[in-house]
Structure 1
């Protein structure tokens, strides 16, 4: 099967992060079985989802690792003109959820793995397919735990997130945070005798905006990024039961996407200090007033030097000379931090099409990705150690 045929199958599995990916993994295993390729599952705790690690080539040697995720974002509340979980073909585009982010790359990688069995590889080719990347890069951590216990680790890693097949050597780290606000409830007719937790939340959001402006004006800038400074984004506020009830609790979900030069823990300490000041200003009359920030999830940034061998190697596969840094996050920082594996991001498609209705990937991008991975096979056959 070629990459487009595999992609059609992959898109047909509605692997939204909240759901299982086991049917997709079973299909991949059946496909690999036609070439007698072995793979290893690494499950989540309740065994409803799994990572898959595939290796072709000399088992005693470190390989080049291709990395992709199987999960996709939801399609609810999006106005699709085509069925999201069916691949729709046009002359120059392939439509469907996950075509760009990032089943297109996974399809190309699987087609390449299948071809690898007909080659005499001196350097192995590995492929990791993870789950729950879209909700905090959760699934790959179990795979990394297993790989960390092995004496044989990858030479380097190519994360196939969409970059239009340009080589990205960095992205920011991310922390998902929640501020839990506690006031005092009551009847809305007596609202001045209560402490509205939504008011606490709004005061805290105001502090977030002030901190964001400070970061934007900071001398810690990296012009390699579209947004060259650390950002704080308020995403969701929850609270309230009914119109005539003063809410006693509320919460604010926010994120921090940080440059390596900034310390997320230090920024978090400063935000907690501001939260404490807000609560303290009410404690004379409302002793229960509090705002507590908790960390929900995080992943590290990716920082690979432009002079790193992996950068030059992948450039030679793509034919591009420049590197850049992507605005979005990937699992790349985890491969770098947890395994010490030099990592870059390079894959087909553009994130401009990701996470949207009528997501698509250009056929030309699939073709170019196939060509890039064909060059990789040629290099692995010669050997790169």
Structure 2
């Protein structure tokens, strides 16, 4: 029986265990991290945590093989998006096989990849690796790639220099060499409460926020009009969306506060802060105007996260490596979603995205990964084991 054939059932068993942990980003991931640590301990694989400041969440770094440069990093996030309000037809935190698919939250995005990486550990150790494979599992990717930067700093400063990084986001086990960046913002508008019939006595935070959101809509349309026709991305332009709005307490009260969140997803070469400068100027002007009416009113803008894009590398080592292990001879590919790949590249690592499943299933009710994708992922990991054993 081939290594891939033995690795596949092991990965499926691990996937069941990983999906059972509810690691929605608003919750802690420590229970899952502890379980992974116990699994690694059972195989004698050294590991370390890189926790957040509060100690409520943690990244995990593990090394399988010798403590030398030239290894490969397998990177993935442990958190998942919420299932709230989604019409699931099976338990989202239990893997449900059906019609060649494995349903469950995170099966595709991206616990399938984590399971495959962990399933390769015993085979890697048995092969007597000449080159190391590093596992890098992060937290809070789904809310802005917030956990990975501290983890990447440790990898860059304290590990023998890895040769390349494979980020296992769902790409149908095809190599992806570029992604858009994402920058997220929180805008808080403070007004002054009054009876809604007495508009001269107050100012509605909602009404002011609507004007600012309208400015973002105009900017979004401008970005679409000015799209570079040669852009390889779909959509070609930088995209700007308001994702969440909360404001007001009653229909007949001028709203005291309105808070909204928006993100800008920009391709390589586009500076998000420069794109948004006209909006920031509108915010400054509105802040001054509101304060002139009521000193406690105003507008504040806070950047919540900034994940840089992944720019395609000319003759990139990571892309060539992933293509060889995945048996991928297809065209160059880029994706519109963001990942920690851009953060690794910014830290100086050759980086590629390659993992099981399709992004079309990510974040959906009845999220699934195809069984065939897990098998292709197992074949990728089996070739990784061979590579590490040969020490190329």
Q: Which residue of structure 2 aligns with residue 57 of structure 1?
A: 65
Q: Does 1:230 align with 2:206?
A: no
**How far did residue 90 of structure 1 move?**
2.3
How far apart, CA to CA, are the structure 1 residues paired with 2:76 and 2:283? Answer: 39
Alignment partner, residue 134 of structure 2 = 126
Shift in CA distance, 244/320, structure 1 to aligned 2, threshold 3 Å: same
Any residues of structure 2 matched to 1:365-380 within 5 Å, and which? 365-380=373-388
Q: Is residue 149 of structure 1 aligned with residue 149 of structure 2?
A: no
CA distance, structure 2, for counterparts of residue 225 and residue 280 of structure 1: 39
Structural mapping, 1:87-166, within 5 Å: 87-150=95-158, 152-166=160-174
Structure 2: 5+ residue runs without aligned partners?
1-8
Pairing 1:179–2:187 present: yes
- Indicate which of 326, 334, 339 corresponds to 1:330: 339
**1:68–1:102 CA contact under 8 A, matched in 2:** yes
Question: Which of 263, 266, 272 is the aligned partner of 1:258?
Answer: 266
Question: Residue 43 of structure 2 aligns with which residue?
Answer: 35
Q: Which runs of 5+ in 1 are unaligned?
A: none
**How many positions carry a matched residue from both structures?**
383
**Distance in 2 between the 1:294 and 1:24 partners?**
31
Q: Give the Cα separation in 2 of the matches to 1:283 and 1:23.
A: 47
1:14 matched to 2:22: yes
Determine helix, strand or coil for the equivalent of 1:236: strand
Tell me, yes or no, if the aligned pair for 2:68 and 2:132 is still in contact at 8 Å. no
TM-score, length of structure 1 as denominator length: 0.94
Instruction: Pick which of 341-350 and 202-211 moved more.
Output: 202-211
Q: Does 1:68 align with 2:73?
A: no
The reply on whether 1:346 has 2:328 as its aligned counterpart is no
Change (3 A) 1:255 1:117: same
TM-score relative to the length of structure 2:
0.92
2:191–2:290 CA contact under 8 A, matched in 1: no
Q: CA RMSD in A?
A: 1.9
Per-residue Cα deviation, 1:80-105 (whole angstroms, up to 9, x for no partner): 11111111122411111110000001
Find the aligned partners of 2:56 and 2:284 in 1 and give their Cα distance: 40
